A and B are shown apart, each in its own frame.
Chain A
Amino acid sequence: MQEGLPGAPPRAEAPTSAIVDRERALGWLMLSPALLYIVAFVGVPFVLAILLAFSNATVGNPTSFHFVGFANFARILQQPQFLISLRNSATVTLGTLVVLVVLATITSELLARDFRGKRLVQIVLMLPWAMPVSLAAINWLWLLDSQFSPIDWIFRQLHVLGPGGLFGPSMHFYYLGRTDLALASVIMVYVWRMLPLATIIVLAGRLSIPRERFEQAEIDGAGFMRVLFRITVPALMPVLVVALLFTGLLVIGDMATVDLLTRGGPGDSTQVLPYWAYLTGIQGGDLSAGAAVALFLLPVLLAISIVVLRYAYRSEDA
């Protein structure tokens, strides 16, 4: 910074742009390992995934790359599991998001306040997110066990189940053993798992709402519900969209929960695209067909990315 000596012209144009250029170069240098890593292990596989769906690679011959056109797609479209998986993926994702938007709004509204033991609640709330997905699925598998579920026991005590009960005389709900309840159970597990992330995103938006707006509403005598629906929810709309898109992406791309909780069953009633892609590609050994199945997630990913990025950059301009 010798240019800054007394007597030198203040901020001459040439040195400043030279510094900016040097800074840019250092910036790219510091950024390059990350870019290389992402290009090599996300970008390249991403392109390969698309190519692979049009080839005939198998587990036995994983690097075979003969172009076979749309044969893989034709093959998977003929299988009944395809439409079932597609429909279930949509049902599970949308179902999760509908419940989640309500719960995350309530939870963030609670956590926006100060109260004793808040730290403890924050810790407790992170349990579903901190527990590894597969272990969480095992935990729910045991909680929803057909014979020994403690939830069934509570329902029996309340005479909801058992002789004379509303859902009696059966002693069990068989959460994972009946087609309708199995899908609902999968949705519940996802709601449970995604609640921490959704709450954190919504809370970030909630805390950014200027305090004066709430104070003004209080002076005007608006009740809790009125404040919630007139001020909080409209101000939260953009963040709710982000929260829903992010969690939706994580739900629609997950296969561990279904793999461990229901194995896609009973029948194919909880079969979803990512798990079917795994079954076809890795378990079934048909890599290219598996890649073709997984590729149906791509439009969803692209649509969500475009919406999020447009929102992110538009809000900067505003």
Chain B
Amino acid sequence: MTALPSRFWGRLGFYILLLLLSLFVLVPGIWMVLTIFKRSSDLYNAQVDPFLYHPSPTLKHLVYLFTQSPFLTFALNSLIIGVCVVAITLLVAVPAAYALARLTGRWGRDSGMALFLVYLIPPTLLFIPLYQLVTALGLANTIWSLVLVYPTIAIPFCSWLLLGFFKSIPATLDEAAMIDGNSRFGAFRKVALPQALPGIAACVVFAFSLQLSNYIYAATFVTSTGAMTVSFGVPTEMIRGDVFFWQALMGANAVVAIPLTIAYGLLFNRLVMGFQSAEGG
């Protein structure tokens, strides 16, 4: 007799909590999207409902973003840096993760937490010596300084993720390939690597977005507009003193954040699995 109502209230509570949490997470995003299409006369009118368009919405500011602002320069820089960082990260992290999972014994398999800690070393501790290093190498104020340094963030994270992946692939598959006459490296290339492709795809996403999101290194190494990244250039160059081009700023944010959000969301379960295997299991 009491079972049904309590189940009903439980369900209701569940959906209310879900709604509130989603709202908390989404509010800045909603405001971002609404802002992009607002005319300035509407945006800067505190009297009217900010959630509606008073004169009709406009694409004017999005066009401005792509044609007259330096956003495309920043995007191109971030893209070039991103491709290089992803390539370096994969070349370094994939063999490392396989070695830890299969070849270096128990401590290697258990090194998940240690790897994640390297990822967590605050860049704030390292940015000044890295600035000196980059200056000494003659790379200051170029995008190559960032190509060199960003893999330091991506390699530990991706090795950690791939370690979990390789651990979840049965070692007997590698051994079977070796009994068939392959070397250990051959087994890695022909058996483990194809099995780990979803993990490698996830690493591409994460390596790309980790470099895209970094602010402090870009702020430290780069001063000229031509070498700025999205993360540093947009807030630095698209705000003129007290004049904020809010619609263009929010447009730049949306162009970057929405595709990444979808990519991360689709990889949600992968990330959970990564922590499950790192937490020991």
Q: Which of A1-30 contact B (CB under 8 A)?
A: 1, 4, 22-24, 26-30
B31 pairs with A143, CB closer than 8 A: yes
A142 pairs with B250, CB closer than 8 A: yes
Q: Does B27 contact A (CB under 8 A)?
A: yes
Digitize A25-51: 1 where CB-to-B-CB distance is under 8 Å, 0 elsewhere.
011111101110110011011101100
Number of interface residues of A (CB under 8 A): 108
Nearest first, the 9 closest Cβ-Cβ pairs linking A and B are: A253-B122, A123-B265, A27-B103, A204-B275, A312-B113, A34-B96, A48-B129, A30-B95, A256-B215
A34 pairs with B124, CB closer than 8 A: no
Q: Which of B254-281 contact A (CB under 8 A)?
A: 256-257, 260-266, 268-269, 271-276, 278-281
- Residues of chain A having any CB pair with chain B under 8 Å: 1, 4, 22-24, 26-31, 33-35, 37-38, 41-42, 44-46, 48-49, 52, 57, 62-63, 103, 106-107, 110, 113, 115, 119, 121-140, 142-143, 147-148, 150, 153, 171, 192, 195-196, 200-201, 203-205, 207-208, 224, 238-239, 242, 246, 249-250, 252-256, 259-260, 273-274, 277-278, 281-282, 287, 290-291, 294-295, 297-298, 301, 304-305, 308-309, 311-313, 315-316
Most chain B beta carbons < 10 A, residue from A33, A138, A143, A308? A138
* Stretch with Cβ within 8 A of A (4 or more), from B53-61, B151-159, B194-202: B151-159
Digitize B23-67: 1 where CB-to-A-CB distance is under 8 Å, 0 elsewhere.
011111101100100000001101001110000000000000000
Most chain A beta carbons < 10 A, residue from B124, B264, B278? B124
Q: Does B168 contact A (CB under 8 A)?
A: no
Q: Does B204 contact A (CB under 8 A)?
A: no
A242 pairs with B279, CB closer than 8 A: yes
A282 pairs with B131, CB closer than 8 A: yes
Note all chain B residues with C-beta closer than 8 A to A204. 272-276, 279
Note all chain A residues with C-beta closer than 8 A to B275. 200-201, 204-205
Which of A57, A134, A297, A308 is in CB contact (< 8 Å) with B234?
A134
A130 pairs with B263, CB closer than 8 A: yes
Most chain B beta carbons < 10 A, residue from A135, A201, A287? A135
How far in angstroms is the closest Cβ of chain B from A124? 5
B272 pairs with A200, CB closer than 8 A: yes
A192 pairs with B155, CB closer than 8 A: no
Which of chain A's residues has its CB closest to B18's CB? A110
How far in angstroms is the closest Cβ of chain B from A274? 4
Q: Does B139 contact A (CB under 8 A)?
A: no
Note all chain B residues with C-beta closer than 8 A to A27. 99-100, 102-104, 108
How far in angstroms is the closest Cβ of chain A from B260? 4
Digitize B217-250: 1 where CB-to-A-CB distance is under 8 Å, 0 elsewhere.
0011000000000111011000000001010011
Number of interface residues of B (CB under 8 A): 109
Which of chain A's residues has its CB closest to B35's CB? A142
Alpha-carbon separation in the docked complex, A121 to B21 (Å): 10
Which of chain A's residues has its CB closest to B151's CB? A37
A45 pairs with B272, CB closer than 8 A: no
A136 pairs with B131, CB closer than 8 A: no
Q: Does B84 contact A (CB under 8 A)?
A: no
Note all chain B residues with C-beta closer than 8 A to A135. 230-231, 234-235, 252-253, 256-257
How far in angstroms is the closest Cβ of chain B from A156? 9
Q: Does B81 contact A (CB under 8 A)?
A: no
